[in-house]
Amino acid sequence: MIGIDFAGRRAIVTGGTSGIGLATARRLAEAGAHVAVTGTRPAADYGEDFGGLDVHRLDLGDDAALEAFAAGPEALDILVNCAGTVAYKGAEFEAETFRRVLDVNLTATMRLCALFRDRLARRPGAIVNVSSLTAFFASRGNPAYGASKAGVAQLTKSLAVAYARQGIRVNAIAPGWVKTRMTAVSHENEAIDRTILARSPFGRWGEAREMADAVVYLASDLASFVTGQTLLVDGGYSLAV
């Protein structure tokens, strides 16, 4: 990307085996970074080209697995917490599912930031978390997802202040409606799709690569004096009435 060079830098993208995470990993690699990605399944199960990426299988809800994974890299410049989960059909109103969604989307983000803090401080490095547009308005059927993503936005502010003296910048993006496997339940439903498009000023869904570009900016030296911010990347959806 013009003006951005990550040559010699090391990055980790959780949830980097599909969707926004994979697009981000590829963008970072294109800019010269050495990129490791995590997913919940073996690499061969995704049917994707992971050329140039180191793929790791990781359950973000497993504390021991997180610690083992974090013990590996000796150095780190960029941490992108992109992995997320959601449960539909009212499942998030059940305590066990609610807890699981928060563990993956919010608690694991905090755990990885803490586990990699010292290595990021040596560089110093940057953290980019992935929140969501649903952090800013009610999500009728997904209370855990909405709460976890609102938590990510608040956590980003807190860690930005806590880590600033070590030179670590902590920011986030909040994607709007983006076409991924996770959002297929909406963009493949004609009625929901029509409602979303009617409200979107651009009249279209976002693309994963557009979210990736925002992440790459926040991780780069172009954002060297930016921290604690959650950047809405929603095509103006949140502005519409």
Count of all residues that appear for the chain in the document = 241
Q: Which of 46, 145, 163, 237 is catalytic?
A: 145
Amino acid at position 49, single letter: D
Please, what's the b/e burial string for 28-53 (b: 16 or more CB within 10 A of its CB; e: otherwise)?
bbebebbbbbbbbeebeebeeebeeb
Residue pLDDT tens, the chain, 241 long = 457 999 999 999 999 999 999 999 999 999 999 999 999 998 888 888 899 999 999 999 999 999 999 999 999 999 999 999 999 999 999 999 999 999 999 999 999 999 999 999 999 999 999 999 999 988 889 999 999 999 999 999 999 999 999 999 999 999 998 877 766 676 676 777 788 788 889 998 899 999 999 999 999 999 999 999 999 999 998 997 6
Can 145 be counted among the known catalytic residues? Answer: yes
Domains and CATH numbers, the chain: 10-180+208-232 (3.40.50.720)
Greatest pairwise CA separation for the chain in angstroms: 50
Nearby residues of 49 by Cβ (< 8 Å), 6 or more positions away: none
The whole-model pTM stands at 0.94
Two structure tokens written together for 203? 């009249």
